Structure 1
């Protein structure tokens, strides 16, 4: 069975006003921020990157070409603004350039102020300017891929600290808390360290801060932030939360910020569907049948011989690539029937997506990588999460069963059978790392070719607003001149 990609509609635009407001407040927030803690979803380690913020961060510390503008760390805002206005490109592109310049300068100013304060300090002690990327919900991805992906990120982003965590695991929370405390201890001259938590909607920012507060503050600590499985719960910047007493570490929770424009073509359509599957977009923007079709396709692509959904169907059912037939079988198995015994495929689609979010991803995480192809002698298709997909030639594997290292976990209380954690040999880790690096390189090349994260409609709207603002300013100027003559 060959996994066939389903048709996907154009991605919706979901960018509420509170996201715009936070983006405008970012320059002020960075002035009092020492550590930026960026959360991403381990199930979508590439898609959950806010590409706009990523570009701003990278280009604020080195020379780079942004939308045709050569920007350098030493440029003043006036320099950047002039470069953004110049050129022979269209007015629409210049509007996007100017918007980019404002946030570029905010991050540049943050780094520059940290350097200036270090030089002005009597001890010459450096100011904190750290960025930590946390891949949350690691318990929802197969653990055998975490170490190869960690190495991949270190090779492709050597200046970036990476951390993997599951909020259910107290050890992960303690380790992250210890990392933040270590950063603070490396700068004992500072009375306190401030952490800004950023990321896309529903990646677990509020849950993380509640957990860090429970670990870092002794005694009973009531829940400080509201949490929800629905994206967009946090709509404003939180007050400062103390997450460590000694040394003093404070944190701000921020609203999740979605990309204003998810992109065009197949890449944009898939980006929207992936974010909807992890509840990163507002519920109702996609029909459940559309999400079910894409989820079925992804599960077949991850393991064509034994996809994670098989146990939902009657025993002996082979893998299915027809979503209509799959939903009929699932609805019949779950007794979701309309009048006359007709399978209710819409209810089944909704249930299938909810199952994946609540149970399916965790069940899939315990499975081993695919070790065989449905057609003998053909490449083995596999992947990790919904962003990394590859083909493994038979020659790239030794004998899978012989090189697999298996370590039984401790049997949990009330658990009927023993869970087995799959571990790869060093050779297999190197093979998987090479495939992951190729996936990341391909993603980054495609992202650079996409340009700015704004649609043509959005750019035109901003241009109209800017033109109206200039007209009002000219009118006010003429009115003031007339009054002056009197």
Structure 2
């Protein structure tokens, strides 16, 4: 990861399109500041972002050179459909230079639409002999799977699986050789190692980010106690559907929603017959089964959660958005959801500006670099004065 992060600026200089993959369940947590800074600098150098405001530059400026940043939210089938359009509008209100795309690798029409988007970018620049695409994102977000699917659609006839894939993070360890995605026009792509967040954050916020990433297998779940993962998953499923959480289908028909993870795991272990020697219920084994169920089946079940109409109810979308439902006069449900999402995004941006994503070690390193830069500037000034 460190090696790729160091290579990224040079790699971007020969890149025409950046496909940045994020997880729809963690659309904010999966924003990587390491990638964000490098991509923004690349777009400024290509004239696509105004150097001062950060907003998109005039369309005519730098348009001769391909420079597209497409943010792909993978696994759209694992979040409720009612939140997709409000989320898209909320993101564009805060990040106007982003080009957003929602996809699920299980839906061929999504892959086909993304392939057509890349081909259209290539056709907009007929003078360019080829279009080079760099796929970046966090570990286990689906980069290699995406490239295999794009290649399968873009190249006529049977194509072999070009890149290995895994359900665990860390399989891709180096930049791949160029992979052909389209013949006419020529489109090539590079796969890259997943780049982990440089720092998860301090205190409860940092701990929560880590648990979220462990649940989606973005980092190794062995770093966390499995019962802690189960407790957080239980909490989130209660927020996603306060009336009928998805986990109720695992329990007897008489069971009701609960916030007590020990009570839930005890019921689940009894239902599954998970007992230790002596007849004691095995809560740890039930917690492992619960997390695996959610990854394999429960994610789809929780994505069918309806938007709660009840005022003052806690509601969420994915694992990054949570709000209290309120009914303002004249405001329809999509407008309310968009407003709540914009508030969540603004809180995330405030945390980022206040340095929530910077560790003490990184702060010391930055201060040391600034001190060295000032010392060198003084030295240069003295040398100029002597001349």
Q: TM-score under structure 2 normalisation?
A: 0.87
Q: Distance in 2 between matches of 1:433 and 1:47?
A: 18
**2:360 aligned with 1:456:** yes
**2:190 aligned with 1:257:** no
Residue 434 of structure 1 is matched in structure 2 by: 339
Q: Deviations over 1:356-400 (max 9, x none)?
A: 11111111112212234xxxxx602111100011111255699xx
Moved over 3 A (4+): 55-63, 394-398, 457-464
Q: Deviations over 1:101-122 (max 9, x none)?
A: xxxxxxxxxx9xxx8xx6xxxx
User: In the comparison of the two structures, how many residue pairs are matched?
Assistant: 359
Q: How does 1:102-117 map to 2 (within 5 A)?
A: none
More displaced stretch, 44-53 vs 239-248: 44-53
Q: How does 1:60-459 map to 2 (within 5 A)?
A: 73=51, 126-372=64-310, 379-395=312-328, 427-450=332-355, 453=358, 455-457=359-361
Q: Per the alignment, in what secondary structure is the counterpart of residue 22 of structure 2?
A: strand
Larger radius of gyration: 1
CA drift of 1:450 comes to 2.0
CA drift of 1:439 comes to 1.2
Q: Deviations over 1:48-92 (max 9, x none)?
A: 1112322444466679xxxxxxxx949xxxxxxxxxxxxxxxxxx
CA contact (8 A) 2:175 2:192 kept: yes
CA drift of 1:461 comes to 8.4
Q: Distance in 2 between matches of 1:60 and 1:241?
A: 22
CA drift of 1:300 comes to 1.5
Residue 25 of structure 1 is matched in structure 2 by: 7
Q: Distance in 2 between matches of 1:370 and 1:385?
A: 14
Residue 30 of structure 2 is matched in structure 1 by: 48
Q: Per the alignment, in what secondary structure is the counterpart of residue 205 of structure 2?
A: helix
CA contact (8 A) 2:8 2:38 kept: no
CA contact (8 A) 2:258 2:264 kept: yes
Residue 84 of structure 1 is matched in structure 2 by: none
Q: Deviations over 1:177-198 (max 9, x none)?
A: 0000000000000000000000
Q: Per the alignment, in what secondary structure is the counterpart of residue 337 of structure 1?
A: coil
More displaced stretch, 302-311 vs 133-142: 302-311
Residue ranges of structure 1 left out of the alignment (5+ in a row): 1-18, 64-71, 75-110, 119-124, 373-377, 399-426, 465-486
CA contact (8 A) 2:139 2:196 kept: yes
Residue 415 of structure 1 is matched in structure 2 by: none
Residue ranges of structure 2 left out of the alignment (5+ in a row): 369-387
Q: Distance in 1 between matches of 2:235 and 2:202?
A: 20
Residue 422 of structure 1 is matched in structure 2 by: none
Q: Distance in 1 between matches of 2:360 and 2:88?
A: 37
Q: Distance in 2 between matches of 1:355 and 1:335?
A: 16
Q: What do you get for the CA RMSD once the two structures are aligned?
A: 2.5
